[in-house]
Amino acid sequence: MAVAILKCEDPSEYFLTKTLILEDKIPQILGRALETENVSSFNGLFDVESLEICNQHCFLMCTNQKFFIEDTSINGTYLNGHKIDKNIKYEVISGDVIQLGCESFSMPEKFKFITFSVKLFTSEDADFFKVFSHKKLYGTPLQLYRETPNFECSLSILHKSVINRFEALRILDEIGNTILLTEKQIHWILSKLREKGLLDIIKLVLGTSNSYLEESNLQNADHISHFVLSIACCRNYVMKKWFLDQEKKLLFLRWKFLSKPEKNEIVSEFFSKLKEVTKHEKMEVSNTSNGLVVSSVKYYKVFFTNVSVLMANRVIYMKDGNCYVSLDDMIHVIVSDFTKYLKFNLEIIKKNLHKVWNDERITSIVLYVEKEVQFERFLFGRSNSNSSVLLKEIDSFAEQSFPLCMSELHYHLKTKSHLKNGGRFQYGLFLKGIGLSLQDSLTFWRHYFTKKMSLIEFVKYYNYHIFHLYGVIGKKADYPPQSCKKIMEAMPAFSEYHGCPFKISDEENIKFLLARHGLNDEEVKCTVAIMKNETPQLACSKYFEIKHGSPLQEIVFHPNHYFDESRTLVNSKIKNNQSQKKVSNFPSKQYEIFNTCECHNCNNDYYYFRISSRYLHSKL
C-alpha cells in the first residue's frame, strides 16, 4: 500500500489537492470527471469541462515500492516538462511535476491542461502511517467535528492548541452577534490574531501550511482543541451559548477562504443527499427569479426551514418548499447542521463529564476557561458597606467612571426625572452590579421620579420593578448586570435611551453625545472613525482611553468591567499622588526601584498562560 499526494500548481492551483491510496499493482485513473462522477480529494478525477483532458488521461500506480505513470490520452501527458510516450510506464519520485494535456498558444481558450507536483509515500516510509491516518480522519479541509479525536498528543501541544483556540474565540466574540462577517471585520480579525501571535490559527483559517505534515499537525490541533473546549464550556447555559456562537463564526471565517473545489467537496461529503439544481431547472426559473437564479451558478435544493437566515433576508429563490441555495451560501446550511450537532454533543459531554473530572490535565483547562468566560454572568461583587458612600457620589461617578451608555441613562434620568422600562432595567442592573444596595436603590429612584409624580404613584407603579431586579419578589431570579453583547441587541424606540450609543446612534448624534461628555473635536473625530468600522466596543474602549488618559489592557466587554477598570485606575492615581506628597517631605536622596520579578517575559500573554491553572504553573 502507498499514498500519493497531488498538489496542483499554477495555473491549476484552484483544483483540489488529491490524496490517493494506492494498492500494489492496481492503477489509479487520473483525468476529467464525467457529469455522473463525483470529484473528491480521494480520487484522481478533476472538475474540468475541457474535452482535451480525457476521462482516463493516464494511470498512476505503485509496484514493489516504486511509482509509475502511464499515458493513455490523446492530447499527451508531460513529466517534468517532457512529453512521455503513450502506453509506456515511467518511474516518478517525490517532487516530480506532471501535466495532463498541453498548452496551445493559438487556441488557448480550447486547450486546457492540469499541472501538479507529487509527494509519494510507501509503507516503508517513516511518515506513511501519519499521512495515511490523517487523510482517513480528515477527508475535507473543513471539519464539522463529527468524530472524537483518537490520536496521541503531548501535554504541551494540548495546552498550547486549546489556549490558542480560546484566545481566537475571544477575538471573534469582540465582533458581536452576527456570523455574516464583513470584509473589514475579517481584516480586523486577522490583524488581531497576528497581533496576539496566533499564527497557527491564521494558517488554519487561510489554509497556508508550509508542508503536508504541518497541515496534519494543524488539523490535529484544531480537532482536539475543539473537543477540549467543548468539555470546558458544557457545564452551564451561558458558556455553552458563548462557545457555540464563536465556533459558528470561526466556521464561517474558514469557509470564506476555501476554494470552489474545496467547498464542493465539503458539500458532497456532508450533504450528499441534497439534489443539485439541473441546468434545465435553472433555465426554467432564471427569467422569473428576479436575478436570484443565474444559469452559470451551481445551486442545491434545500428545504426552507434549514436556511432561515436567507429566507429572513429575502435573498433566495424558493419553489415547492425548496430553496435554491448557491454554493457560497451553503455555509448557512452547514452552520445550521453544525449548530444542531454541537448542541446535542455538548449535552452528551455534560452527562459524561464526571468520567474525566479527576484528570488534572482536563480540569486545569476547564477552570481556566470558567475563569475567563464571564461575559453574561458578570458578577462584579462589591461590599454593601460602602453603598451609602456610592449613593452620595453617584453623580461624580457617572461623569468620571460610567461608560457612555450608563452616563446617558443617568443624564436623561436627571433631566427628565423618568426612564422607561428598558432604561430602568439596564441602568438598575448596572447600579446593582457596582454595589448599590436594594434600600439605596429605592432611595435613588424615588429621589428622581417623585419630582414629577407623587410618592404614592411611585410606590404603586415602580417599587415592584426595583424589588424584582434584586430578586426579592416574583420568581426571585438574581439578574446579573447586562453585558455589552446583550445591550447591543436592544433597539430603543422614540423617547427611550437604553442600548449602546455606539451601535444605535448616527454620526451627528454620537458627535453631540461625545461633546456633551467633555471630548474635544479631535477626540470626537477619532472615536467616531472607530465607530464607523462597525466595532462599537472598540469605540467604547477608545472613549475610556480618552476619558482616563490611559488605554485598557483588553477591549470593553461589559459596562461593569468599564466601571471597575475606571475606579482601579482613578484610585491608583490618587494613591500615587498621596505617596509623592509623602516622599517630597523626605530629605533629597537618590532612590532606585528594582523589578523583583525574575520572569523576563512578564507580559499579558505570559500572564494569561500563567494563571491558566495551578497545575500548568507548577509545570512551567
CA-based nearest residue to 428, from 391, 477, 470: 470
Average pLDDT rounded to a whole number, residues 299-307: 86
**Which DSSP letter does residue 519 get?**
-
Cis upstream peptide for 481 (omega within 30°): no
Instruction: Note the pLDDT tens digit of each residue in 327-348.
Output: 888 999 999 899 999 999 998 8
pLDDT for 39 beyond 90? no
What cell does 32 get? 476529467
pLDDT for 48 beyond 60? yes
* 33, 39 contact by CB (below 8 A): yes
Instruction: Note the pLDDT tens digit of each residue in 123-145.
Output: 766 665 566 555 555 667 788 88
pLDDT of residue 253: 93
pLDDT of residue 619: 33
pLDDT of residue 135: 59
Residues 6+ apart with CB under 8 A from 136: none
pLDDT of residue 201: 92
pLDDT tier at 382, thresholds 50, 70, 90: very low
Instruction: Note the pLDDT tens digit of each residue in 478-489.
Output: 778 888 888 988
What would the DSSP string read from start to end of 439-473? HHHHHHHHHHHTTTS-HHHHHHHTHHHHHHHTTSS
pLDDT for 614 beyond 70? no
Amino acid at 359: D
pLDDT of residue 379: 40
CA 194/CA 321 separation, integer angstroms: 44
Please state, in angstroms and as integers, the Cα–Cα distance from residue 442 to each residue in 391, 401, 470, 478, 482, following that order. Answer: 11, 22, 11, 17, 20
Average pLDDT rounded to a whole number, residues 177-186: 81
- Three-class HEC string of 121-176: EECCCCCHHHHHHHHHHCCCCCCCCCCCCCCCCCHHHHHHHHHHHHHHHHHHHCCC
Instruction: Note the pLDDT tens digit of each residue in 249-291.
Output: 999 999 998 888 788 878 887 887 888 888 888 888 877 778 7
CA 425, 431, 435, 437 dihedral sign is negative
Please state the domain extents for the chain.
2-134, 155-258+340-372, 260-328, 384-563
Average pLDDT rounded to a whole number, residues 560-574: 86
CA 164/CA 158 separation, integer angstroms: 10
Query: What crossing angle do the helices spanning 507-516 and 521-531 adopt, rounded to 10°?
Result: 140
What would the DSSP string read from start to end of 539-602? HHHHHHHHHHTS--SS----HHHHHHHHHHHHHHHHHHHHHHHHHTTSPP-----------TT-
Q: Which residue has the higher pLDDT, 403 or 135?
A: 403
**Which residues make beta-bridge pairs with 117?**
7, 97
- Domain 2-134, CATH: 2.60.200.20
pLDDT for 607 beyond 50? no
- Provide, rounded to the nearest whole percent, the portion of the chain with pLDDT above 70: 83
* 111, 75 contact by CB (below 8 A): yes
pLDDT of residue 133: 59
Among the residues of 377-520, which ranges form H helices?
Answer: 387-392, 394-400, 404-416, 421-433, 438-449, 455-461, 463-469, 484-487, 501-504, 507-516
pLDDT of residue 127: 62
Q: What are the E-state strand segments in 334-417?
A: none
**Which residues make beta-bridge pairs with 99?**
78, 115
pLDDT for 586 beyond 80? no
pLDDT of residue 606: 28
pLDDT for 405 beyond 90? yes
pLDDT of residue 278: 84
Q: Which residue has the higher pLDDT, 405 or 381?
A: 405
3-state secondary structure of 50: coil
